Amino acid sequence: MDSADRFSEIARSFQASEIRELMKLLGRPGLITFAGGMPDEEHFPHPEIISIIESLTPAQRAAAYQYGPTPGYPPLLEALSSYLLEKGIRCGSDNLIVTTGAQQALHLVARILLDPQDVVIVEDPSFIGAMNAFLSFRALLVGVPILSDGPDLERLEKAVKLHSSRLKFVYVIPNFQNPSGITYSLEKRRLLLEMAEKHDFLILEDDPYCELFFEGEETVYRSLKSMDDHERVIYLGTFSKTLAPGFRIGYAVASKTIKEKMELAKQSVDACSPSFSQVVAAEYLKRGLCAHYVASMRRVYHDKCRTMLDVLERELPSTVSFTRPKGGFFIWLTLPTGADARTVFQECVEHGVAFVTGAGFCIEAKGEERIRLAFSNASLMDIKKGTALLCSVLRKYYPPR
């Protein structure tokens, strides 16, 4: 029986993520991949996790195996509140909720705020997972170009005014943006908050990479939420980059009203996030293991990023430009006008290296002229070899003028 004609309009609108589809094709031995934005699996904090599990009390073990409260395991909420306070974000049980990864938080926000044909303004390019979450509720996405220090605020304000009657929120990734690697300046952050107050809109801030900076002080990368005096910002965080993505622990900080609606929406989705993961994450925070692990991973990711940049700077043709991130997982390449990254991709795979083309990340930007490279889960040796292979193909197609 063919059930296709039984699907809802929303289900018929679902589209597979280019990255997820690509990952199915990349299992062949020897292929170097810069496609998935995954943490370095060679450095997961396995000994620390085992130590936590072995030392759980009977009460903690019982909580780990049982259903838990929808908003989250109370000791984790308490530990998260302290952890976020160190970053300038004041929150408690009234405005903090644990989610099954930050992806679920995106889904819940979309579910409680979006009606069909509502407008969401996003950076252009932006994170595929977020855009798909918004589109699944039949939102209209409006892209605003992202510059070297954050969004084009003039274009953003024009878009806000044009779509004011249906605008629900502006979605941003201020730190080491996915896919571009760009970081907002503090001035852009301040002006964005002022614009939100002036024009009365919400900001959905996605901050998965905030702690993975390579240079400067943490205050340079402070969240919009830490600067938010008027509850304009819904803040999303995750343990996927600072513990392990398999634990599926994210969280959201929002106004009491929005948090309560997210809780109600979550009750019909999964009732509660994985209890075992929450119990471990609570101890991981309380014992200070997160801060220690993050400090070590900054060095790991900095070395990987620097290695890739060194090869790009040395071997990439001058006709191709690229970002130089100060943290995170990604480098964003811009090919010459009229280029087709898919052609480059096909030849690169034949030579043993893969990446993600830019089309899926872009709304109005010319995604076919863009390439995203993720250095996070490749070895230093593979980064050197794979980046050199990519550069050789790019030199063939786009030689220096």
Does residue 306 share a domain with residue 159? no
| 186 in Cβ contact with 219 (< 8 Å) | no
Strands 353-354 vs 32-33: parallel, antiparallel or unpaired: parallel
Residue 259 lies in a domain: yes
pLDDT over 90, % of the chain? 89
103 and 210 in a single domain? The answer is: yes
Same domain, 274 and 333: no
Per-residue pLDDT, averaged over 372-384, amounts to 98
Contact (Cβ atoms closer than 8 angstroms) between residue 202 and residue 220: no
- Looking at every residue in the chain, the average pLDDT score rounds to 94
Rounded Cα gap, residues 73 and 301, in angstroms: 31
| Residue pointed to by tokens 């250095």 | 375
* Rounded-to-integer distance, Cα 320 and Cα 324, Å: 13
- Report pLDDT digits (tens) over 181-219: 999 999 999 999 999 999 999 999 999 999 999 988 777
The Cα 340–Cα 37 span in angstroms is 22
Say what the pLDDT of residue 365 is: 72
Do 272 and 321 belong to one domain?
no
User: 327-362: per-residue pLDDT in tens?
Assistant: 999 999 999 999 999 999 999 999 999 999 999 999
Overall average pLDDT of the 12-41 stretch: 77
What CATH number should be reported for the domain holding residue 226? 3.40.640.10
Specify whether 264 is located in the same domain as 312: no
322 domain residue, yes or no: yes
Please tell me whether residue 122 adopts helix, strand or coil conformation: strand
Residue 367 has pLDDT above 80, yes or no: yes
Contact between 122 and 171 (Cβ < 8 Å): yes
Q: d(Cα 265, Cα 263) in Å, to the nearest integer?
A: 5
The last residue of one of the domains, among 287, 304, 331, is 287
> End of a domain among 254, 287, 320?
287
Both 235 and 104 in a single domain? yes
Residue 339: which CATH number? 3.90.1150.10
Q: Tell me if 105 sits within 8 A of 99, measured CB to CB.
A: yes
Residue 130 in any domain: the answer is yes
| Same domain (yes/no): 183, 80 | yes
**What sign results for the dihedral spanned by CA atoms 222, 223, 225, 230?**
positive
User: Do 298 and 283 belong together in one domain?
Assistant: no
Q: Is 34 a member of any domain?
A: yes
Based on the structure, what is the number of domains in the chain? 2
Please enumerate in sequence order all residues whose Cβ is within 8 A of that of 164, keeping only pairs 6 or more positions apart, or say none.
Answer: 199
Residue 1 within any structural domain of the chain: no
227 and 307 both lie in a single domain: no
Last residue of one domain, picked from the residues 287, 322, 348: 287
What are the respective helix, strand and coil percentages of the chain, to the nearest 5? Answer: 45, 15, 40
| 103 and 160 together in one domain | yes
Q: What backbone torsions phi and psi does residue 361 show, to the nearest 5 degrees?
A: -90, -15
Q: What is the pLDDT of residue 126?
A: 98
Between CA 195 and CA 82 the distance in angstroms is 29
- Asked whether residue 34 carries a pLDDT value surpassing 70, the answer given is yes
Whether 25 maps to a domain, the answer reads: yes
From the CB of residue 191, how many other CB atoms can be counted at a distance below 10 Å? 17
Statement: residue 119 has pLDDT above 70: yes
Burial (CB count <10 Å: 0-12, 13-18, 19+), residue 116: exposed
User: Domain range for residue 263?
Assistant: 57-287
Same domain, 281 and 344: no
